[in-house]
Amino acid sequence: MTEDIYAKPDLTKKVKFQKGVEEDTDVYEDSDNVRIYDNFRAEESTPPEKSEDNITDDQQPTVSVNVSSGKRNVFRAAAVLLGLLCLLLLVAVIVLVVLYILERNRLWVKNANLTLKMNQLEEEKDHLKATNNNLTEERDELQDRLDERKCCPINWTRFGNSCYLTSTSMKSWSVSKQKCIADDAQLVIISSKEEQEFISSFKRHMWIGLTHEDNEDVWKWVDGTPLTERSRYWRARQPDNPNTEHCVEISTGSTYTNWNDLPCSHELRFTCEKILE
């Protein structure tokens, strides 16, 4: 009896219980008043606990989550907010791209304008350079001409701002005057003490450009200017024959008082003067 009590029940058998009857039977004919339980588990009984070893993959426990409507609203608001943020980010990206394109185009136009301006400046620089070269050439040419005019011709002697040439032949005063004019010069006009000393240093009898052929009372130089220092360079008692002696020579002797009047037809050497500009 004791062994039957503690014997392990056979859970594979089906047992039928009749309402109001606690006696174990294997089969009941009245099936309307009978409930069938698997493994002796009645409806009111608590099912035995299953160990983790007896739970298979198909028998994993299902956990149901009951989410309240408040939480669902929070999730929905978060999703809407995230969508708005994405939209704002997209708009910001589009705005930045547009600004970048506009700025790039502005810089391109500015660079094109600067390039055009640089080209214009280069052209102006070349033009100014060419103009400067032309002006330099003109300046050099004028300088050469000026230097030529400041230089005395061959065989002429420079003194002060004039060139002088003494003839080797003897001519009348009028012919001497024409010879000087032919050399783009004139019979010497003595206008200073230093020039008087320079002409006197030649130690020759020579015609100078002083005459009174047109007016016996007034001595004039060949350029038409009157003699202002009448007696300064005349020899003693000269001029002595104003009626027939109308032209003046410079003679030897004293350096300062050596002028003498002679007839213009008398033939002497002469000195021409070319004034440098």
Give the distance from CA 149 to its chain's centroid: 43
* 25 three-state secondary structure: strand
Report the pLDDT value the prediction gives residue 36, as an integer from 0 to 100: 47
Report the pLDDT value the prediction gives residue 99, as an integer from 0 to 100: 93
Which tens digit of pLDDT belongs to each residue from 41-62? 444 445 555 554 444 444 555 4
Question: What's the rounded mean pLDDT across residues 234-256?
Answer: 83
Q: What superfamily would CATH give domain 157-275?
A: Mannose-Binding Protein A, subunit A (3.10.100.10)
Question: What's the rounded mean pLDDT across residues 73-97?
Answer: 90
Question: What's the rounded mean pLDDT across residues 214-235?
Answer: 80
Report the pLDDT value the prediction gives residue 146, as an integer from 0 to 100: 67
Which tens digit of pLDDT belongs to each residue from 115-126? 999 999 998 999
Report the pLDDT value the prediction gives residue 3, as an integer from 0 to 100: 52
> Buried b / exposed e across 50-62, counting CB within 10 Å, b at 16+?
eeeeeeeeeeeee
The three-state DSSP-derived secondary structure of 104-144 is HHHHHHHHHHHHHHHHHHHHHHHHHHHHHHHHHHHHHHHHH
CA distance 139 to 145: 10
Report the pLDDT value the prediction gives residue 28, as an integer from 0 to 100: 42
Alpha-carbon torsion, ordered 2, 3, 4, 8, to 10 deg = 130
Of 3-7, 67-71, 212-216, the least confident: 3-7
Which tens digit of pLDDT belongs to each residue from 171-208? 999 999 999 999 999 999 998 889 999 999 988 899 99
pTM of the model: 0.47
Averaged confidence pLDDT in the chain: 78
CA distance 18 to 24: 9
pLDDT at 66 over 60: no
Domain ranges of the chain: 1-44, 157-275
